Amino acid sequence: MVRANRPCCYLRWRDRIRFVRSVPINRSDFHSPLGVHISVYLTCSYYLLKSRTRRFQTWLIFVFLLFALGTVNICFNMRFGQMVWIDNREYPGGPYAYLVQQEGNTLLTAGDAESILVSFLTDGLLVGGNHYDP
């Protein structure tokens, strides 16, 4: 049986499905970054709600802010990875040449900005943690 030539959009869709399916979620040596991120957020929120200290609402807002910014960072970086390795794999010079040429891409810059903002907030928590009671 001879297979008909498939259009390019079908091949990209098939590769996207394979890319999503290739992210190992239940392996012991590697976990999905978003799954770990969600579990850490839920654990922090659970213990903050369980303790109900004087300023738990402030800390709950802070934890949610870190979760939201971290989620945006993960999503932006995953989308940029899809653009590099799937959508533009036929780029002259290969995906690495596309990666080097697109270093100033808005998506990558926004993901890096989110990462820097989260680092700034967590460093502020470490420095200011000695001055505020929870």
> What are the DSSP calls for 43-59, one per residue?
HHHHHHHHH--TTHHHH
Give yes or no for a contact between 72 and 37, defined as CB atoms under 8 angstroms apart: no
H helices within the chain, ranges in order? Answer: 8-21, 33-51, 56-82, 94-101, 106-128
Is pTM beyond 0.75? Reply is: no
Domain boundaries, the chain: 8-128
Higher pLDDT, 99 or 64: 64
d(CA 54, CA 49): 11
On average, the pLDDT of the chain sits at: 76
Q: What is the pLDDT of residues 81-122, one digit of tens each?
A: 878 877 887 888 888 888 888 888 888 888 889 889 988 988
pLDDT of residue 20: 56
- Pull the structure tokens for residue 63: 């934890």
pLDDT of residue 103: 84
Question: What own/partner pairs with CB < 8 Å and gap ≥ 24 does 121-126 have?
Answer: 121/62, 121/65, 121/66, 121/69, 122/66, 125/62
Phi and psi (nearest 5°) for 26?
A: -105, 25
